[in-house]
Structure 1
Amino acid sequence: MGERPRKRAAIEPAATLFDREAEPAPQDRRPVSVSGGAALVVARALGTALWSVGLLRQWGSIRADLDLEPDESGVALGVLLGFQGFWMLLLLALAWLIWRGGNGARILVMIGATASITASAIAYFAAGEEITVHTTLLTLALDILILLALSSRDARAWTRRRRA
């Protein structure tokens, strides 16, 4: 069997992150981290669909809380569901690009996951918003797992090689 890649030390200097010679040799086969990352992005898209279903179920009470007229309510719901549908399709497209070895898609998804995690943290600490299974726990957990999978050395080396 081949040589196992060296695990990253907790006290590794930041300069080694940019050293291409320190990267493991790119594999011909897709690393598990890339496959898992793409699967997690698909799961994140499915989480968006579940969130939309939850929105539909709660729309009556949301509409009452916001005191929306029936015309305004339909427009607002359409805009929200349209955005969610676009977001879900974008996530599925990015998952496909990651699966195929797209480094740009990998980086874009990691930036999006970081922004989502940061927004959840700000909402929790500044606004006192609860993180529950019914609100953001599922998407937050998936974003963290996506970051862990797609930021691995194997994923970075394989996607960089695929574009080189």
Structure 2
Amino acid sequence: MSEKVPRKRTAFESPARLARPLTHDPNMPRPAATVAGGLLVLLRVLAGVIWLLSITFEWRHIVHDASVVIDGVPLSEEERALGLGFVWLVGGAVLLFDAVMAIFVLRGGNRSRVTVLFFSVLSISFAFSAWWVQGQDIRISSTLLNLGLDILVLLALSSRKAAAYARRNERR
């Protein structure tokens, strides 16, 4: 009565196995990690749109609470609108870039995968720095959702299968 039991994977991988080159397989099916990573980036874009909308609805209070006064004169309504437009322009450009990177990740681009990983690391580092240096709280309403999505993106897109899929057309 011999059952086939799958061999357990060790808790660590030897450096020799990690350094072994990946196989060249142009017909490799898209792994779940790549799909999950691309969809998480798209969720991050959706979270950014929701964040921009919440800023828009609270803009008057944000500017009023900041008490921005230049040369003793408070900001006019036009200047407030201009500031909101600038926030939307920069935020929209970042979100558009993120959405394009998500599409390229889903198509299997290695450069886009590495770019998304790099920006996720930057985002996590900035959140940590704000918490450490400024004592900024990490809340569900502000930082926690984006931070969680960035961590999940790192986990998904840094897997060996996602890397192998992104580099499947490279000759080694």
TM-score above 0.5: yes
Between the aligned residues of both structures, percent identity stands at: 32
Number of residue pairs aligned between Structure 1 and Structure 2: 158
- Per-residue CA deviation, residues 58-91 of structure 1 (Å, 9 max, x unaligned), is 1111110233412221111111111111111111
Instruction: Specify which structure has the higher proportion of helix.
Output: 1
**5 Å matches for 1:120-139?**
120-139=127-146
Query: What is aligned with 2:71?
Result: none
Query: What is aligned with 1:113?
Result: 120
Gaps of 5+ in 1: none
| Correspondent of 2:157 among 130, 150, 157 | 150
The alignment's C-alpha RMSD in Å is 2.3
Which 4+ residue blocks in structure 1 deviate beyond 3 angstroms?
6-13, 15-19, 23-27
Query: What is aligned with 1:34?
Result: 34
| Correspondent of 1:80 among 71, 87, 99 | 87
Q: Normalization by structure 2: what TM-score?
A: 0.83
Query: What is aligned with 1:19?
Result: 20
Gap change, CA 1:117 and 1:7, over 3 Å in 2: farther
Query: What is aligned with 1:10?
Result: 12
Task: Work out which of the two has the higher radius of gyration on C-alpha atoms and give 1 or 2.
Answer: 2
Asked if structure 1 preserves the Cα contact closer than 8 Å seen for 2:24 and 2:170, the reply is no
Counterpart code for 1:86: A
Q: Normalization by structure 1: what TM-score?
A: 0.86
Counterpart code for 2:137: E
CA-CA distance at 1:9 after TM superposition: 3.9
Asked if structure 2 preserves the Cα contact closer than 8 Å seen for 1:34 and 1:149, the reply is yes
Counterpart code for 2:117: M
